Amino acid sequence: MPHLFDPLTVGPVTLPNRIAVAPMCQYSAEDGSAADWHAQHLMGLALSRAGLVMVEATAVEEIGRISHGCLGLYSDANEAALERVVGMARRVAAPGTAFGIQLAHSGRKGSAERPWEGGRALAGDARPWQTAAPSAIPFAPDWHTPQALDAAGLARVTTAFRQAAGRAVRIGFEAIEVHIAHGYLLHEFMSALSNTRTDAYGGALENRMRFPLEVARAVRGAVPRTIILGARITGSDWVDGGITPDETVQCAAALKAEGFDYACVTSGGLIPSARIPVGPNYQVPFAARVKAETGITTRAVGMIVEPAQAEAIVSSGRADFVALARAFLDDPHWTWHAAERLGARIAYPPQYARVAPAAWPGAAMVRPGLARA
Ligand SMILES: Cc1cc2nc3c(=O)[nH]c(=O)nc-3n(C[C@H](O)[C@H](O)[C@H](O)COP(=O)(O)O)c2cc1C
């Protein structure tokens, strides 16, 4: 039997399998509040049979959004809107599906256009805002120069993470994830390329990790031990002088010591000119090191597309579970098809059971992809 469909206990929760839908910004919120698009997106993924469905990067304060369309959890209206769409998704979800949320702050990459508008820094007539970062270094020459956070700013952001975590707990998520990757605020503190501070928050790795760990501690304090708590961390900046896999391992170990239940190991996003060797499994070696050297439950992500590829990652022990992003946009029923390819039996929603080959022998005829496999 494939290992991909084995249950996995992550902290206090047992997930029904080793497959997660990675967090994916939809840039479709209104003033930070989830909209009908989120309802359809999450309701579709609720049927996916992924053991864990992650809600996109969700800003803990208004200036922590990437774009005007980003989801937030900084107001009562945001909380009510997200509760509505997550409730809708839950009511149709496959039994055992866990829902998670990623809490984030965009840092110097905020105040940007939606990707389909160009993804550039917002122009003067597009309601730009003052961004915040560890140091006043823009993401790229044509980007906003962020304000270096002072002591009051650091305290404000920590409080915002704690309060957003409290809202996520009230909504009822089974998993909460802190975003420390992809060049956003907490990653900016971690990397010497974006953090040139000379105070206790800059310099040696111990200092660069200080603020992300303060945030981690604040979130840990707001999240009961009955809920999974994890983080997305950076395996490499792919640039000399940036985060290295050694530093990643130390970061994961520190998070484990703070009581975090898992680490999802990704990379890049800090420096636009980084040359990243994108290809199948390109980030898996980072996850494998984190798992081997810290023992924290580890999720691999990035260019994991084929069911046999995902199965090999999990069965070889390089990661405990995998997250897929674009593959689920392309095929929200990826898990169903992976089960068929790998010979695992999973229950289909009864309304859709006539496409299940095990239940309906003629089903393969409407599944050319399966016939090819
Ligand atoms: C549309 C889209 C939105 C994304 N939004 C987020 C996000 O909110 N948070 C995050 O950590 N990563 C985000 N990512 C990155 C994915 O989670 C994932 O790490 C990346 O796409 C690589 O996985 P893949 O090869 O399976 O797509 C996004 C990716 C896509 C395609």
370 and 313 in a common domain: no
Question: Which residues are annotated as catalytic?
Answer: 184
284 and 220 in a common domain: yes
How many angstroms separate the CA atoms of 58 and 167, rounded? Answer: 11
- Domains in the chain: how many in total? 2
304 and 199 in a common domain: yes
366 and 264 in a common domain: no
Instruction: Identify the CATH number of the domain in which residue 136 sits.
Output: 3.20.20.70
291 and 270 in a common domain: yes
310 and 168 in a common domain: yes
Strands (E), 70-137: 98-104, 132-133
265 and 165 in a common domain: yes
How many angstroms separate the CA atoms of 81 and 64, rounded? Answer: 18
Mutate to test the pocket of ligand 1, among 19, 24, 305 (most ligand atoms within 8 A of CB): 24
Residues in Cβ contact with 151 at an 8 Å cutoff, skipping those fewer than 6 apart:
none
This prediction has a pTM of: 0.97
Residues in Cβ contact with 204 at an 8 Å cutoff, skipping those fewer than 6 apart:
none
290 and 149 in a common domain: yes
Cα→Cα distances 53→137, 144, 218, Å: 34, 33, 24
For 354, the domain range is 349-373
203 and 68 in a common domain: yes
**Nearest one of 315, 354, 310 to 335, comparing CA atoms:** 310
As a 3-state breakdown, the chain gives helix, strand, coil percent values, each rounded to 5, of 40, 15, 45
Nearest-atom index, ligand 1, CA of 328: 26
How many angstroms separate the CA atoms of 144 and 132, rounded? Answer: 10
Task: Pick the residue whose CA is nearest to atom 28 on ligand 1.
Answer: 24
359 and 297 in a common domain: no
Residue indicated by tokens 């020459």: 141
Ligand 1 environment, Cβ below 6 A: 22-25, 56-57, 102, 179, 181-182, 232, 266, 301-304, 324-327
Tokens of 234: 């950076």
Task: Pick the residue whose CA is nearest to atom 21 on ligand 1.
Answer: 325
354 and 302 in a common domain: no
Residues in Cβ contact with 326 at an 8 Å cutoff, skipping those fewer than 6 apart:
none
Q: Specify the 3-state DSSP secondary structure of 52.
A: strand
Q: Which residues pair with residue 33 across a beta bridge?
A: 30
How many angstroms separate the CA atoms of 143 and 112, rounded? Answer: 9
Q: Specify the 3-state DSSP secondary structure of 277.
A: coil
- The pLDDT profile of the chain, 373 residues, written as one tens digit per residue, is 899 999 999 999 999 999 999 999 999 999 999 999 999 999 999 999 999 999 999 999 999 999 999 999 999 999 999 999 999 999 999 999 999 999 999 999 999 999 999 999 999 999 999 999 999 999 999 999 999 999 999 999 999 999 999 999 999 999 999 999 999 999 999 999 999 999 999 999 999 999 999 999 999 999 999 999 999 999 999 999 999 999 999 999 999 999 999 999 999 999 999 999 999 999 999 999 999 999 999 999 999 999 999 999 999 999 999 999 999 999 999 999 999 999 999 999 999 988 887 777 777 667 665 544 4
Q: For the residues of 92-133, what is the DSSP string, one character each?
A: HSPTT-EEEEEEE--GGG-SB--GGGT-PBPPTTS-----EE
